[in-house]
Structure 1
Amino acid sequence: MYANPSSVEEASPRLLDHVRSRIRLKHYSIRTEQAYLDWIRRFIRHFGKRHPKDMGADEVQEFLSHLAVQGRVSASTQNQAKSALLFLYKEVLALELPWLEKVESAKTSKRLPVVLTREEVAALLDQLQGTHALIIRLLYGTGLRVMEALRLRVKDVDFARGEILVRDGKGAKDRVTMLPSSLASALREHLLRVRELHRRDLESGRGEVYLPYALERKYPNAGREWMWQYVFPSASLSEDPRSGAVHRHHVQDQAVQRAIRQAVRNAGIAKPATPHTLRHSFATHLLESGHDIRTVQELLGHSDVSTTMVYTHVLNRGGRGVLSPLDRLKENASVR
């Protein structure tokens, strides 16, 4: 029987606080913080609340095996647990444990991405309205990841240059992508409404947005400035889980995911489409149109072109362009 999470928190308050401090010092996201803390708690509970410094290779390997065999977790989930434990031992406990690097990672399946046809994208977009429609059109029109789109600030949209600046994307990299001209007018109108919402927040004594890292200390008033506001703010205020401050955060990604699921059902699309499917479709349709793969790589923010190469599978027709012998029979019959 596992102890409940609160008892683990009480048993190792200094350890978990140290984990939080190291994560925040390294500027990891709040989601990574929550995931790592959860896996460390589960690791401690699994071994009867023993302190991790009193455990080692055998316990880590047993825990990861338990997740795979009894827990039947996916390879990506098991690898996330391994990353959390690696962070705990290297960054928090500062223990030199060469065996930890040798713990084998679970092999993830090599699967081709789900891609919608242009007709399917059009049918999906026809089912959407309001802010969700604008966000989802932006995902397909720019190739942004869903969190990259939701974290956009007003200053990141350059209407004059027709560009969107993606700040601190995956791998902590910045990049520039296009702003679709067909979206510019709708996005301008949307920002007018957002600015009015921000004005009302300021009048009510609110209007301060979350700022990353040390910007809040460096520029104390920046959080209330228009340029730092989210392009897609939430309809309600919420409390920052780290600072406790009340801000207007951005729209939640779960809401966008639900909107796409419903639109897919309404459009009668028989594919498991998600927000990321629109990024896959963006890349695939650009390559189909003859754009250079290096350009697509840059727009997507891939470090290695081999990652972008997965989309070239659609450039060959089904079966890699080979004509089926059944179709050949039909061709020969038509000649006679």
Structure 2
Amino acid sequence: MDEVRRRIRLKHYSLRTEQAYTGWIRRFIFANEKRHPRELGAAEVEGFLTRLAVEGNVAASTQNQALSALLFLYREVLKIDLPWLKEVVRAKRPRRLPTVLSRDEIAALLGLMDGRPWLIANLLYGTGMRLMECLRLRVKDVDFARNEVLVRDGKGGKDRRTMLPRVLVEPLQREIERARRLHERDLSAGFGETRLPHALARKYPRAAREFAWQFVFASENRSSDPIDRRERRHHFDDAILARALQRARRQAGMVKPVSAHTLRHSFATHLLEDGYDIRTIQELLGHKDISTTQIYTHVLNRGGRGVVSPLDRAG
């Protein structure tokens, strides 16, 4: 398992991917009476994935994640090229339309939030960022002069730019000033070093202690880094935001499910409603394929010609 973690970090996979992959590999080994994966083959892998679907009743995305973990184990860690792995069929993910809030629902939801969760939720809806892209935002990547946010190392390892809503300039400046005070306090206490992505810590040894590299949404307290166990100040806990969103949803009397990603879906849909072209929205969202962005045209019922029901014309 140590070698699994080493290979994952060598390839710069995220901590969450590391946790997911090691979890699935451990479950696979235990499901086969702790036999070494070298002794296992197609029957065991297919049996494990089948039990997940039939007995565990997991979603297709979960089953595919388990398969990806096992593919990584055999190809990258054990260096075993097993032709039968290519024949293992990935579960087909159902195509579902995203949940989107109306503008009134967005206003009601955000109006019932306060503090840092309010600012983060507004930033998610106002910029279209993914949750972790927002929480991992560094001070240097907020450009107030150009009203832009630079999203570093987004999904697929790509950078992109998105707009910074003008109404969030002052609240975000106050948040950055708060981060500055926390950083100065950490430096005085002998800390103040943040985790840098990939090998930047070796390339720029002093950068980790510079304010520019600190998280905008710095956590209240320092904690032990799960990778190297060094005490650092990490970013805001996403679980706190999730609870704040659910609390606001209940207070607003909404029956729709609401998550941080719902705000991103609403951002894209509302831009389409305002007449922005789909290529622009694709760039703002950081989608690799235009077909991913086109799903929002179906949310609007504007696929093709935007058909009007004959019942609405009957009167």
Per the normalisation by structure 1, the TM-score is 0.91
How much does 1:125 deviate? 0.6
Question: Which one of the candidate residues 201, 219, 222 is aligned to 2:186?
Answer: 201
Helix, strand or coil at the partner of 2:308: coil
How much does 1:328 deviate? 4.5
Between the aligned partners of 1:323 and 1:31, the Cα distance in structure 2 is 45
Helix, strand or coil at the partner of 2:118: helix
1:317/1:170 CA distance change after superposition, 3 Å? closer
Larger Rg: 1
| Residue matched to 2:309 | 323
The residue type paired with residue 167 of structure 2 is S
Per the normalisation by structure 2, the TM-score is 0.97
Give me the identity figure in percent.
62
The residue type paired with residue 243 of structure 1 is D
Helix, strand or coil at the partner of 1:164: strand
How much does 1:191 deviate? 1.1
Task: Work out whether residues 52 and 63 of structure 2, in 8 Å CA contact, stay in contact via their aligned partners in 1.
Answer: yes
| Residue matched to 2:90 | 105
Task: Work out whether residues 219 and 234 of structure 2, in 8 Å CA contact, stay in contact via their aligned partners in 1.
Answer: yes
| 1:81 and 2:28 are equivalent in the alignment | no
| 1:272 and 2:277 are equivalent in the alignment | no
Cα shift readout 1:54-83 (whole Å, capped 9, x = no counterpart)? 111111001000111111111111111000
How much does 1:314 deviate? 3.6
How much does 1:199 deviate? 1.0
| 1:296 and 2:281 are equivalent in the alignment | yes
How much does 1:103 deviate? 0.4
Helix, strand or coil at the partner of 1:177: strand
| 1:64 and 2:44 are equivalent in the alignment | no
| Residue matched to 2:269 | 284
User: Where in structure 2 are the equivalents of 1:33-182 lying within 5 Å?
Assistant: 33-182=18-167
197-206 or 222-231: bigger deviation: 197-206
| 1:258 and 2:243 are equivalent in the alignment | yes
Task: Work out whether residues 24 and 66 of structure 2, in 8 Å CA contact, stay in contact via their aligned partners in 1.
Answer: yes
The residue type paired with residue 315 of structure 1 is L
Question: Which one of the candidate residues 186, 196, 199 is aligned to 1:214?
Answer: 199
Cα shift readout 1:105-132 (whole Å, capped 9, x = no counterpart)? 1111111000000000000010111111
99-108 or 287-296: bigger deviation: 99-108
| Residue matched to 2:211 | 226
Following TM superposition, the consecutive aligned residue runs of length 4 or more in structure 1 with deviations greater than 6 angstroms are none
How much does 1:323 deviate? 2.4
For these two proteins, the number of residue pairs brought into alignment is 314
How much does 1:324 deviate? 4.6
